[in-house]
Amino acid sequence: MTTASGSAAPIGDMMILVGNSVFGPGGGRIFMLVEAFTVILALIGTTLSCMNTGARSLMRWGKTAKCQRTLGCCTRRA
């Protein structure tokens, strides 16, 4: 833990240490890569949900005339 301050990726190094102690030698790197992959999936999901919420809000504001009317004309459905 004393070398964590000098590391470029201290959280990744700690995950490797914990993974090696739990899963055995070589398991720490796999554990770190699996966690990194889940973080990337979470970022993609968060981005998509924010874009969806923004589109819904702008469309509703356009339909209720709280902003430009053209924003509410994205679809022909009511």
Residue whose structure tokens are 């090696």: 20
List C-alpha distances in Å: 42 to 4, 16, 49. Answer: 26, 21, 11
- Confidence (pTM): 0.67
Three-state secondary-structure class, residue 66: coil
Give the angle 46-15-18 at the CA atoms, nearest 5°.
135
Report the alpha-carbon distance of residue 71 to residue 56 in Å, rounded.
Answer: 10
Q: What does each of the 78 residues of the chain score in pLDDT, given as a tens digit? A: 566 677 888 888 888 889 999 999 989 999 999 999 999 999 999 999 999 998 888 777 777 777 766 666 665 655
